[in-house]
């Protein structure tokens, strides 16, 4: 698997309206997803932390940022810096993540992600799968003939360069590892009822099969994506 440069936007769709960014968060790498909405502004999922100013400036060249989405209660570290650069942006998160976010980032006012739904459909939809004890929101984007799914922390496609030696050592303890895979022990953080969780995700992906999957960690999956993802849900 080829390595992807850090802190450089990559285009995912032919029209340039969906982009992703890989950045370092210390022991490993993480991803940010940017979607241009129909009004020309950007919705940014899991805004990057400690990125150089060029990352924010490069996206601003093609439109203002109007929405900053924390997809769960843990991917919030970039919210403050992005809000400083884009003071008109509103921060959103799934309702179940708001209590922890209010403790961990008390200076960031979050609104429930449900407040955003009416203004972004049908291009973007949110899904909090059933059976979760702490939400990790899936996000579907449909543009330019592509169906892009943000799959969050519970699916990864990491290469050796995405994790330091310690993270590679402990990843199997969480049911994770290298390559495209599903976290086999999701209950450690996010899932209360694995059967309900898998059923909910399977139904959503069957209804809108992914042509591209963007996990929170590792490279996007862009080849034979629907089949490979269904295999992980068995």
Instruction: Choose between 161 and 83: higher pLDDT.
Output: 83
4 belongs to a structural domain: no
55 belongs to a structural domain: yes
**What tokens appear for 169 in the block?**
């050592």
pTM of the model: 0.94
pLDDT digits (tens, 9 = 90+) for 82-126: 999 999 999 999 999 999 999 999 999 999 999 998 889 889 999
Of residues 17, 31, 9, the one with CA closest to residue 63:
17
pLDDT at 176: 74
Is residue 206 helix, strand or coil?
Answer: helix
**36 preceded by cis ω (within 30°)?**
no
For the segment 41-47, the average pLDDT, to the nearest whole number, is 98
156 belongs to a structural domain: yes
What are the beta bridge partners of residue 163?
28
Of residues 90, 82, 79, 42, the one with CA closest to residue 64:
42
| Domain of 106, in residue numbers | 10-232
Lowest mean pLDDT among 55-69, 71-85, 170-184: 170-184
pLDDT at 91: 98
Residues 6+ apart with CB under 8 A from 129: 136, 138, 196, 197, 200, 201, 204
**Pairing assessment for the beta strands 65-69 and 18-24 based on DSSP bridges:** unpaired
Arithmetic mean of pLDDT over the chain:
93
Lowest mean pLDDT among 86-90, 160-164, 177-181, 182-186: 160-164
The answer, yes or no, to whether residue 1 has pLDDT greater than 90, is: no
Lowest mean pLDDT among 151-160, 173-182, 225-234: 173-182
The total domain count for the chain is: 1
95 belongs to a structural domain: yes
pLDDT at 183: 87
Here the CATH number for the domain that contains residue 22 is 3.60.15.10
**What tokens appear for 85 in the block?**
């650069």
181 belongs to a structural domain: yes
Is residue 13 helix, strand or coil?
Answer: coil
Of residues 191, 213, 216, the one with CA closest to residue 204:
213
85 belongs to a structural domain: yes
For the segment 13-37, the average pLDDT, to the nearest whole number, is 95
pLDDT at 167: 67
Kindly write down the DSSP assignment for every residue of 97-144, as one continuous string: GHHHHHHH-TTS-EEEGGGGHHHHTTTEEEE--TTBSS-B-EEEEEET
64 belongs to a structural domain: yes
The answer, yes or no, to whether residue 164 has pLDDT greater than 80, is: no
pLDDT at 187: 82
2 belongs to a structural domain: no
The answer, yes or no, to whether residue 224 has pLDDT greater than 70, is: yes
């Amino acid at each position: 698997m080829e390595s992807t440069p850090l802190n450089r936007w990559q285009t995912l769709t032919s029209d340039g309206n969906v982009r992703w960014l890989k950045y370092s968060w210390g022991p490993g790498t993480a991803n940010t997803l940017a979607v241009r909405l129909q009004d020309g502004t950007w919705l940014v999922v899991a805004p990057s932390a400690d990125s150089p100013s060029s990352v924010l400036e490069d996206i601003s060249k093609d439109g203002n940022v109007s929405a900053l989405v924390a997809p769960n209660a843990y991917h919030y570290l970039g919210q403050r810096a992005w809000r400083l650069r884009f003071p008109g942006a509103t921060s959103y998160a799934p309702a179940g993540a708001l209590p922890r976010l209010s403790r961990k980032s008390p200076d960031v006012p979050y609104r429930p992600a449900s407040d955003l739904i009416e203004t972004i459909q049908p291009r973007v939809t949110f899904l909090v799968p059933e059976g979760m004890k702490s939400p990790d929101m899936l996000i579907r984007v449909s543009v330019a003939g592509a169906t892009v799914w943000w799959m969050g922390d519970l699916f990864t496609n990491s290469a050796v360069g995405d994790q330091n030696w310690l993270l590679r050592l402990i990843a199997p303890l969480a049911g994770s590892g290298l390559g495209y895979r599903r976290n086999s022990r999701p209950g450690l953080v996010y899932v209360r009822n694995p059967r309900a969780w898998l059923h909910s995700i399977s139904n959503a992906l069957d209804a809108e099969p992914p042509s591209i999957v963007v996990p929170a960690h590792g490279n996007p999956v862009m080849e034979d994506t629907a089949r490979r993802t269904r295999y992980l849900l068995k």
